[in-house]
Amino acid sequence: MTPNIKNFFPPITLPVIFFAILILVGGMLLHSPYSHTGHEISWTNAFFTATSAVCVTGLIVVDTGSFFTGFGQGVILLLIQLGGLGIMTFASLIFFLWRRRVSLTDRIAVGQSILHDRTFHLGTFLLRMITWTLLLEGLGAVLIFLLAPATVTPFAAFFHAVSAFCNAGFSLYADSLVSWQGTWGVNLVIMFLIIAGGLGFSVLVELQTVAMKKIKPSRVPGHPVGLSWYAVTVIKTSFMLIIVGWATIYLAEYIGFQRQVPFSESVLTSLFQSVTCRTAGFNTMEIGGMTNLSLLVMTVLMFIGGASGSCAGGIKVSTFRVFWAFIASQLRGGDQVVIRNFAVDRRDVSRALVLITFTLFLIFAATLLLSATEGGDIPHPQARGLFMDILFEVVSAIGTVGLSTGLTAKLSMAGKWIVTVLMFIGRLGPLVFLAVVQELRREKLFRRPDENILIG
């Protein structure tokens, strides 16, 4: 019997394969002499940078603006754009335009990658998604070019707009966006792009549809105009997380630590950090100089991340919302997990709990490994603060955020490869890897008897 290729490469593995190929090609291009002049870059640093760009993370081991040539910066920009939208998205769009149809296998694969709902018209959705992505990035680039306090080239404006919308966090400036710390216009544009890129394409499409219906109301009597239950849940949860992060960072940095900055600048800076640590990776403050309370809150926000089907990483806001509702349900003694008058499907609750558990296990394992490679031979009195730096780095990598307290450039070769793997897993999502294992395993046709065990 001829083996079926789908038995070896299930549809869910295709994003993994294509992302790996893109990282391989990107690493080779960044290692070429055309990408840098006067400097040499190791293969480790080249693949680290390529992975960070494709996985829209933003962790860097060399300064993007000064180390890479225009060609190298163009390669990074292209990797960010392709990684943000997703290789599977581009592949399916090409198939759609070429054949004007997409197979059911491709449809399901893309649906599992970028949507919470698999019942959609793929071609129309992808065309609208690409169009709106380019429009938002183009508009953001124009506004950054006009509002920047200093002279900015059109390429630099477009680079930062794409990096913001794709939640990549790559900057052409050594201090990221610290020099724009008090510039309200640029900060608001960057934050808008970050939030838009982190809401998820399906939510953006819904927002567009509702806006169009408001402008041109339907003539059909009783035709509903409004966002879906999922979209409202994502938007409300995202808004709540931003507000909580904003308030905590402001209290920790400007009330507790009492940084001496103007009130308007302190409000803007704390808000920007709350928005950006949801997986964008830009910073207008020196991360290594922030308080432990701020770093801890930012670590939690990085762990949660953005919405499903977006450019953001993390466990996703919908997963966090389900987990929060699950805890509330358990405390109340309820048998259903309820969010806004709707009960969440038990299988979705199970997936959320498995995803959170698996991600926490990865964080623990990676923190343990980095503690060994980066400070395993250093006594505790000499390594105070290193654990927080390592934990922050691990969560930033697996959440594809890109913020760092300054540890990234100091990582050993082994540490860089550990972080590279974390970024790769974080971009595709631990749930994808679990799904791969589930696809490859053989189904059992029997059940074993149950037995009770003491808990707690």
Residue 140 above 70 pLDDT? yes
Q: Write down the H helix ranges in 86-228.
A: 87-99, 104-114, 122-147, 154-165, 184-199, 201-215
Tokens of 381: 């009195």
Of 72-86, 133-147, 213-227, least confident by mean pLDDT is 213-227
The predicted structure's pLDDT at residue 437: 57
Rounded to the nearest integer, the mean pLDDT of the chain is 84
Residue 1 above 50 pLDDT? no
The predicted structure's pLDDT at residue 439: 58
Tell me what percent of the residues of the chain surpass a pLDDT of 70: 83
Residue 199 above 50 pLDDT? yes
Tokens of 184: 């309200």
pLDDT (tens digit per residue) in 386-396: 899 999 999 99
Other Cβ atoms within 10 Å of 423 Cβ, number: 29
Distance CA 22, CA 48 (A): 13
Domain spans, the chain: 8-217+225-440
pLDDT (tens digit per residue) in 18-67: 889 999 999 999 999 999 877 789 999 999 999 999 998 889 999 998 89
pLDDT (tens digit per residue) in 54-81: 998 889 999 998 899 999 999 999 999 9
Closest to 170 (Cα-Cα) out of 181, 160, 158: 160
Q: pLDDT-derived band of residue 109, with 50, 70 and 90 as boundaries?
A: low
Tokens 């950054």 sit on residue: 144
pLDDT (tens digit per residue) in 255-294: 877 778 888 889 999 999 999 988 888 999 889 889 999 9
